[in-house]
Structure 1
Amino acid sequence: MIRSVQPYLYVIYSLILGLFIVNTFVGNDVVEYIVGLLAIPMLGLSFYGASRLFRILGSIFIVVGLSMFMLAGLPWTQIPYHMTSTLNLLAFLTVLPWINSVVRAGLYDRRINDLMKGNVDHLGQLYMRSSLTTYILCTFLNLSAISLSQGVLLENLKNMKKRVRDSFISRTTLRAFTLALIWSPMEIMVALTVDITGVSYLVYLPWLLLTSFIVLVIDWLWGRKTFSNVEYEGNSVMSTESIELRKVATPIIQLSIALMTFLSVVVTFGNTFDLDFILAVTLVILPFSFAWALMMRRVRRFVQIGWKTWKLRTNGMQNFVVLFVSLAFFSNSLNETSFLGVIQEPFLYVSDTPLLILILIQLTYLLMSMIGMHPVATIAILGEIIQPLLEIVNPLSIGIVLITGALATASVGTYGVTVTMTSMNTEENPYRITLRNMPFSLMFGAVGVLVAFLLL
């Protein structure tokens, strides 16, 4: 029976999350309780289709959460109220495919990918182009950009030795992915940090862009030096193409204008109706994407691509449903006990040395990623732990490390989606990808800590 329901999960998720969003404006306790009740079977249905790693994480959160719930002596009737605090994140993830779809409808992905098809003499030259292409696409397409870029590179480098090709692909795409997302308003870690610290996204933006630019330039120089001695043996057709600058520059400029417009609408909408950042982005994405498609006169293509992509992605959200719903129960139960104070002790102990706090946050992400803990789960726990520190240490500094620390793990998390996807595409051992990108991850984290420290 559960298997027969799986193709219609998008309907179930949409109804529950839609009711949750409506109630954020209504604020009715009865509706909140109903949403919490519905979240329980939603968790059960999703558990069936989730991967083994997320089942384990979800089970741990539920078991530990139940233990804390009983220890706090709370009545069982209160459980539904403990299930809804992370549903805004699920709603956020549900609408993201629509902005990806409008980029595809406008053929921006194909035009920008031409950057990787120009004439080059060695891989050092191609490194910067590949990194820049992935960086631009990731801003709007998120994970989809990795598949697109890796697909083009696999074709372009099919005449290269596998060891060289795999090394090149895992460096350029994963590193550009992490650097593009640290300032993207569509990145869940950014949205979460804005809400946790209470610092405006516009305050974060220039510092995140600066961090991204510094690390990107370092990586380009690093990659150019590493691969400059490797002659480019690409596809004979693609390697002789010349880039028409105007054809590539136009979509980049258009995407930049669209992004600035999107940010303006989100900030204005959020301030006008006093909404948190995650909810503001969630509510703006769909109408903004439709308006964008209308301006391009590609509404029909947008709807076709969007509907298909949305159904597919929403039906495949079991991992995140299991993670977020179980995490909500765990976090809310934790707050009802004295254990939170125990976990906070190491951070409060070094509160007189802000640099140590920043480093501790960074190391927590790295260690948790090595055992398969998703950064969202880590930041949810850290968000509770660091609340007292926000009055002692500049919340902007803490927020920058929360973001850079989380995204730095994207290139090294052996059990993470990005590394696993790259491993499948290149048929390479994921542990080798982790080891190869570890120096970059540490450097990225160090730059994030340095920028945060200078802002203390």
Structure 2
Amino acid sequence: MLVYSFFHSNRLFQGMGLAFLTSGALLFPYSNVSLQDIPPLFSNNLTLVVFVAIVPLMQAAIETLQYDKQVQTWLFKGATTKGKLHTRALLTTYGFVPFMNLSVLPLLQHTLKESLTTVEKKERDVLISQTTLRGYALALVWMPMEIMVVTAIGLTGESYFSLIPYLLLLSVLMTLVEIGKRSIGQNEGLSIAYHGEDGPSKGSLISAVIIFLVLVLALGEWLELSFILTVVLLIPLFSLGWTSLLGEGRAFLRKGFLSLGKQLQIGIHPFIVLFVSLGWFTGILNQTELLGYVQEPLYQLGEKPVLLLAIIPLSFYLLAMVGIHPIASMVLVHEVIGPILMPTMPIPLTVMYIVSALATFTMSPYGIIVTMTARHTEQNPYRIMIINLPFALLFAAIAISIMLLF
């Protein structure tokens, strides 16, 4: 499976997979791992692979119910100034991303680009790069369907129930900060013609999000299942139930099977390479003395948690600048800092993993989201990195402040 997926992955994931497999092999002679311990190392993260495989079912439900047909109405209705347009673009991204994830960004970016031809290109590019990428990160920071949230909880073992108040607070606070910044001094008039289509209301989408969250929390506690297993079981059942209640169950099944088949044929392979190779590398690393040498100076910072928490986002951002995927960054950082903070600060540690990983999406010049945005807007990905780096740093700083305050 690993070999097949390797040849069906892109170069970035092939490179990371090779690096982790090779590093693990080099460390193996210096570890306490026996030959019989090797097979489990390759299967430790397979639950995450299953999660990645079924996530597109949520997107299939949204498309079946035709929420995506209302993008222009949500973006441009009432957007009479540049400040209001910035707010609507941010909130529209925030509204669609929880269920459609990455697939909605090209639609939003293309719609903004084609509808804002009267706006100077540089200004238009900044608006698209800020609103769609920042809205994407802020919406996913508290969503149980997001792989970064699932991975962080899997690493630390914290319950989603204990994290959701902090994640929601951070998401709402940063969204208000973004809206507040743009509402000052951006009152220049704007007139945009758009074509609106009838469809399900915003209220029904918000209700679906709330119901899904309640079900995740309730079923996890009632059945005493792990967070990731709860979400894996709930996504297909919820998607089918939701669409069936609105009379589109059969249409969803057709679209859902197509989406699932496409994900299994194409989309899943990079994550198989990443998760399997990471399981091998971290399993070997944990059984060597190398980790102790790296952790020793950090233990000296035990009485200064603010410095340890600050190291987390800075590590993510630096690794992102050389092309390391945030999942890999999270696992690597956890191996070093996790044992130090887990005994006393498990919730702040988990929150910082999630915030750092999602903030990385807005500024990683090698990440798929930034490179896709660069292609759609015809600008350099490093320019997008510069545009969004202040946001990533502010997001991390506010997260650290809140976690230390509470």
TM-score by length of 2: 0.94
1:436 is aligned to 387
- Name the CA shift for 1:113/1:300 in 2 (closer, same or farther; >3 Å): farther
Structure 1 residue ranges without an equivalent (≥5): 1-41
1:367 is aligned to 318
2:83 is aligned to 124
Preserved CA contact (<8 Å) 1:123 1:227: yes
Query: 1:226-274 CA distances to partner (integer Å, 9 max, x unpaired)?
Result: 7544x5364xx32xx7x89xx78x6322122222222232233323333
Match of 1:194 among 147, 153, 158: 153
Q: CA deviation at 1:73?
A: 5.7
Higher relative contact order (CA 8 A, sep 6+): 2
- Distance across 2 between alignment mates of 1:369 and 1:261: 34
The answer to whether 1:279 aligns with 2:235 is no
2:351 is aligned to 400
Match of 2:335 among 384, 393, 403: 384
- Distance across 2 between alignment mates of 1:401 and 1:345: 21
- Distance across 2 between alignment mates of 1:395 and 1:451: 14
1:411 is aligned to 362
Structure 2 residue ranges without an equivalent (≥5): none
2:8 is aligned to 49
1:386 aligned counterpart, secondary structure: helix
Where in structure 2 are the equivalents of 1:118-267 lying within 5 Å?
118-225=77-184, 227-229=186-188, 231-232=189-190, 234=192, 237-238=193-194, 251-267=201-217
Could you tell me which amino acid in structure 2 is paired with residue 176 of structure 1? G
1:29 is aligned to none
Preserved CA contact (<8 Å) 1:112 1:252: no
Preserved CA contact (<8 Å) 1:112 1:251: no
More displaced stretch, 105-114 vs 334-343: 105-114
Q: Where do 4+ consecutive residues of structure 1 move more than 6 Å?
A: none
Preserved CA contact (<8 Å) 1:153 1:169: yes
- Distance across 1 between alignment mates of 2:2 and 2:158: 32
Where in structure 2 are the equivalents of 1:314-329 lying within 5 Å?
314=264, 315-329=266-280
TM-score by length of 1: 0.84
2:281 is aligned to 330
- Name the CA shift for 1:177/1:346 in 2 (closer, same or farther; >3 Å): farther
Query: 1:67-91 CA distances to partner (integer Å, 9 max, x unpaired)?
Result: 1223226444543221011111111
Could you tell me which amino acid in structure 2 is paired with residue 204 of structure 1? L
Could you tell me which amino acid in structure 1 is paired with residue 378 of structure 2? E
Preserved CA contact (<8 Å) 1:84 1:328: yes
2:282 aligned counterpart, secondary structure: helix
2:145 aligned counterpart, secondary structure: coil
- Distance across 2 between alignment mates of 1:137 and 1:346: 44
Q: What is the percent sequence identity of the aligned residues?
A: 35
2:112 aligned counterpart, secondary structure: helix
Q: How many residues align?
A: 405
RMSD: 2.1
1:39 is aligned to none
2:306 is aligned to 355
1:336 aligned counterpart, secondary structure: coil
Could you tell me which amino acid in structure 1 is paired with residue 334 of structure 2? G
- Distance across 2 between alignment mates of 1:399 and 1:78: 28
Where in structure 2 are the equivalents of 1:81-96 lying within 5 Å?
81-96=40-55
- Distance across 1 between alignment mates of 2:284 and 2:80: 59
